Structure 1
Amino acid sequence: MSDRSDRTRLIASATRRGAARRPVSPPVERASTLLNDRPGDIRDETAGAVYGIEDLSAARQLRAALADLEGAADAWLVPSGLAAVTVPLTALLRPGDEVLATDALYGPSRRFLNRHLKARGMATAFHAPDASVEDILAAMTGRTRLLLIESPASLTFELVDVPALAAACRERGVLTVMDNTWAAGLAFRPLAHGVDVSVQAVTKYVGGHSDLLMGSIAAADPAIARQIAETIEDLGWRVSPDDAWLALRGIRTLPLRYAEQARSALAVAEWLQTRPEVAQVLYPALPDATGHDLWRRDYTGAASILGLAMNGGSEASAHALMSALELFGLGYSWGGFESLITHETGQLAFRRAPPQLVGELLRLHVGLEDPADLIADLERGLAAWTAAIR
């Protein structure tokens, strides 16, 4: 990694010299069969991809950009953010092993642990989302092979001390895999803090436009990298050239979008803290938030997604709030240019120890709209919330 900033490096890789006249972005190559001039060239991997299932130009350039961003030996692309989590677990775990994860884990990742891995002889244990390093280590057993880190955690955004955990796990021979979608490989670099594998949903911030599904996996250790690469090869999981091209376009503007949306999210979060309808704003960048000290120490930025623990209410009042909004889309995902809202109280029931919130839980994603307009929209929503309760 050079001394240049992220925003410079992600663009400079497109404008580098040394080739013939070319477009800024590579052409989209839609191909299954790749032709050769001589019979002996058909299996020559030094000439590039042999068959269309291998990564073509856009995917290779995207992988290189992600590897540079993550400080990795290599990065791989898979068809979804969930696959970015499940591939390393498939590659690194064997029957009899145990995974330790936060109780606030992303729902589909939890489902994979409890359904797919359990059926194949691998166990899962869960620790409290805001557990100390000592408590997390105490939860490990002789079978613990891998710590699955999600920090901040889903929906309630608790943080753990990742550098300390990574160091302690390395001493114990326990592997670490971190879902780093929240930081987008930008505001926090797991590999630089000792984590073995960093994954993220490219669907979110890298894509940036809510028009593709993709995940990335990055590793620094050659042995771990080889296991991941072989697993992807064996499963036959690749991404389409069109999606790779879209994600490559998105990564060029990632630092600017991430920073701008974080500024807007903080403004919205600070305003929401003044509202009597809101009991707590769950956002690590707020000075009084749980885990703020860890965020301030380790992170260089913040995502634009936050939780709202409301004062009382019900599903009906939550839906009334959401229905009154004009600028917030009703739908899942985040990291795109548009603001979104979802009602998340029901998902807390999947945890072994659900948090004791005083009311309903909403999740906001703050997009690139003017934050003043978003605040005005939320004011309408809160008025509808109050009317529904009365």
Structure 2
Amino acid sequence: MQLETDLIHVARPEQRPAPVNPPVVRTSTVTFESLAEMRDTKQRREQGERMFSYGRRGTPTTYALEDAISRLEHGEHTQLLPSGVAAINLVFMSLLGPGAHVVIADSVYQPVRRIVEGWLRPWGVAVDYFDGSAEHLVATLRDDTRLIYTEVPGSLVYEMQDLPALAAIANERGIPLAVDNTWASGIRMQPLAHGAAVSLMAGTKYLVGHSDVMLGSVTANGDIGQRLRETAITMGQSIGGDDAYLALRGVRTLACRMETHDRQARELGEWLVGQPQVVRVHQPSRPEHPGHALWQRDFTGGNGLLTVEFSADTPAQRVDTLVDRLTLFAIGSSWGGFESLALPCNIAAARQLDTRWASRGPCLRLHVGLEAVDDLKADLEQAWAAVQVA
């Protein structure tokens, strides 16, 4: 069946009568009929079978969400974490160690740099950044490289990378390639299908879709998938049944929500390009975007994100004032919910290798929610008019 159909039917109870979604299981302790049954469960779990044995190791509710995300990501094993950042840390913790070397794309989510400086380097891990190209990746790899970590598209201005080419380099050298897939959220692209070893997501964003749950996921195949799971259990990383239930509810409507976010963001982006104060709109679906051809090849659509770049002589304070004057676009971190959001972003501070941003204008990231697009346009118009008057 098509993915959209599978997401409606995967991980639903098979026995009838039954609810359409698995019920919420809240528990820490799991009891057994006998010690023999308990010991058999433990033995099967140690052999790699997913067994309901203790709340921290998973419940029927979390297993249902794992199965849905595995289907979404085209992978075998999914581990759930309490946030996207926890998912990033799980990948680093599982696949790196003191004395190892990791290569990270320069355009990744900004908290990755805090992880690098906060504990990877102090832990004895060597870190280099690459510009996203296959050529620079090859030049940056070392004999002790144990992981390549990237995000496609990149954060904030959505730099595209040739993911199959990066995966071919990684696989030829036996180095796992981990990809942050939050932008596509599985519904628009599956890194494992392009040769990556690990795909991770902040399910907090589009997967949940209602801005009411923190969630991370890591999906992989074979031994790496089992290794990630065991590390998470060892580190005590788990989520509760209520969060899993809410996220699974979000999965059911992910395809149709993403279609609406994509359509509305494209319409708003086209309108913004025609505004005199806008220098460019960063959005992979736009033909003038530098990575548009790669996006067309590897992705099945877009999402609700776009970033507006203003002229170099625009004061950053003017962008701040614009955001303060908006009424429908809320001010807040994150994205992927039903609501529209606006947040100024400093690209120069988020890049280490790309120095061009030091001389370019300020940027404003918008997440286009499910409101009527004409109302969002009117909100931007009134806010800009208020800024001009001020």
Question: Secondary structure at 2:212's aligned position in 1?
Answer: coil
Distance 2:24 2:329 in 1: 33
Match of 1:376 in 2: 378
Question: Secondary structure at 1:119's aligned position in 2?
Answer: coil
Equivalent residues of 2:12, 2:21 under 8 A apart = no
Question: Secondary structure at 1:53's aligned position in 2?
Answer: helix
Match of 1:10 in 2: 7
Deviation of 1:219 after TM superposition, in Å, equals 0.6
Distance 2:142 2:384 in 1: 47
Match of 1:344 in 2: 345
Deviation of 1:116 after TM superposition, in Å, equals 0.9
Deviation larger for 104-113 or 289-298: 104-113
Deviation of 1:387 after TM superposition, in Å, equals 3.5
Distance 2:198 2:171 in 1: 12
Distance 2:103 2:365 in 1: 26
Match of 1:180 in 2: 181
Match of 1:53 in 2: 56
Distance 2:105 2:276 in 1: 31
Distance 2:130 2:376 in 1: 36
Correspondence for 1:76 among 60, 72, 79? 79
Over residues 312-341 of structure 1, what are the superposed CA-to-partner deviations in whole Å (9 max), with x where a residue is unaligned? 322321121111111101000011000001
Deviation of 1:243 after TM superposition, in Å, equals 0.3
Deviation of 1:263 after TM superposition, in Å, equals 0.4
Distance 2:6 2:383 in 1: 41
Deviation of 1:303 after TM superposition, in Å, equals 1.8
Q: What does residue range 6-45 of structure 1 map to in structure 2 within 5 Å? A: 6-13=3-10, 17=14, 19-45=15-41
Equivalent residues of 1:44, 1:50 under 8 A apart = no
Distance 1:120 1:358 in 2: 36
* Distance change in 2, residues 1:313/1:119 (3 Å): same
Count of aligned residue pairs for this structure pair: 380
Question: Secondary structure at 1:96's aligned position in 2?
Answer: coil
Q: What does residue range 303-322 of structure 1 map to in structure 2 within 5 Å? A: 303-311=303-311, 312-322=313-323
Q: What does residue range 131-280 of structure 1 map to in structure 2 within 5 Å? A: 131-220=132-221, 222-280=222-280
Query: TM-score if structure 2 supplies the norm length?
Result: 0.93
> 2:252 is aligned with what amino acid?
R
Distance 1:165 1:98 in 2: 17
Deviation of 1:12 after TM superposition, in Å, equals 1.6
Deviation larger for 318-327 or 243-252: 318-327
Match of 1:366 in 2: 368
Distance 2:172 2:250 in 1: 38
Distance 1:43 1:323 in 2: 60
Deviation of 1:36 after TM superposition, in Å, equals 2.5
Over residues 266-324 of structure 1, what are the superposed CA-to-partner deviations in whole Å (9 max), with x where a residue is unaligned? 00111110011111111110010120010011110112111111123223211211111
Match of 1:63 in 2: 66
Distance 2:40 2:248 in 1: 27
Distance 1:227 1:266 in 2: 40
Equivalent residues of 1:202, 1:213 under 8 A apart = yes
Question: Secondary structure at 1:258's aligned position in 2?
Answer: helix
Deviation of 1:157 after TM superposition, in Å, equals 0.9
CA root-mean-square deviation: 1.6
> 2:9 is aligned with what amino acid?
A
Distance 2:260 2:308 in 1: 21
Deviation larger for 97-106 or 331-340: 97-106
Over residues 142-180 of structure 1, what are the superposed CA-to-partner deviations in whole Å (9 max), with x where a residue is unaligned? 332211111111112101100011011111222100000
Question: Secondary structure at 2:308's aligned position in 1?
Answer: strand
Query: TM-score if structure 1 supplies the norm length?
Result: 0.93
Deviation of 1:52 after TM superposition, in Å, equals 1.4
Match of 2:287 in 1: 287
Deviation of 1:21 after TM superposition, in Å, equals 1.8
Q: List runs of 5+ in structure 1 lacking aligned partners.
A: none
Match of 1:85 in 2: 88
Equivalent residues of 1:14, 1:24 under 8 A apart = no
Distance 2:374 2:26 in 1: 43
Equivalent residues of 1:277, 1:382 under 8 A apart = no
> 1:336 is aligned with what amino acid?
G
Over residues 8-60 of structure 1, what are the superposed CA-to-partner deviations in whole Å (9 max), with x where a residue is unaligned? 1011225564x142111122121112222333333442694111112112111
> 2:276 is aligned with what amino acid?
P
> 2:10 is aligned with what amino acid?
S
Match of 1:327 in 2: 328
Distance 2:55 2:229 in 1: 17
Deviation of 1:350 after TM superposition, in Å, equals 4.5
> 1:168 is aligned with what amino acid?
I
Distance 1:268 1:372 in 2: 9
Distance 2:386 2:173 in 1: 53
Distance 1:14 1:89 in 2: 29
Question: Secondary structure at 1:362's aligned position in 2?
Answer: strand
Equivalent residues of 2:198, 2:219 under 8 A apart = yes
1:126 aligns with 2:129: yes
> 1:86 is aligned with what amino acid?
N
Equivalent residues of 1:43, 1:50 under 8 A apart = no
Equivalent residues of 1:180, 1:198 under 8 A apart = yes
Over residues 48-97 of structure 1, what are the superposed CA-to-partner deviations in whole Å (9 max), with x where a residue is unaligned? 41111121121110000111111111111011011111101110112221
